[in-house]
Amino acid sequence: MVKARKIGIILFLMGICLLLISFAFVSHYDKKLGLLGSVSKMEIVLKEGTWLPYPPGYIPPKPAEAPRPVPRTSEEYKQYMEQDREYERIYLDPLKNFTPHYEGRISIAFKYFFAIDMVIIFLGITAIILSKTNAKQVT
């Protein structure tokens, strides 16, 4: 067997094995999307962190009670609709520039592993194909 062909077979098998082994450490796989659909979301987590849904020190407001229904024909409703409610439109959102994230988490996107594995597999296939054409030319 030609040396290039042996190297091609080794590269091909190494790429397949790395791909299969890396599947054991992957998270965020979605069955509905399949492998290629969820590659961009999948990741390999090296260190778990803590999930921060709100900024530190922020206390989410308690849900307000539902106001009692006021009939549209009542005097309260008419007074409420006639008054100037400009102050109701001003609202400062403390979560405006905050995105929920993990604090202290280390993870690597799976798409990089997947791309490297595909390159290794195709290099192995190319080496096998080129070794066969070179073997035909030599004889």
Cβ atoms of 55 and 95 within 8 Å: the answer is yes
Tokens at 104, concatenated: 């202290």
As a whole number of angstroms, the distance between CA 23 and CA 27 comes to 9
Q: Which residues 6+ apart lie within 8 Å of 101 measured at CB?
A: 51, 52
> pLDDT digit string (tens) for 27-66?
888 889 888 888 888 999 889 888 888 887 777 777 777 6
Q: Which residue has the higher pLDDT, 76 or 27?
A: 27
Mean pLDDT of the chain: 81
**pTM score of the predicted model:** 0.61
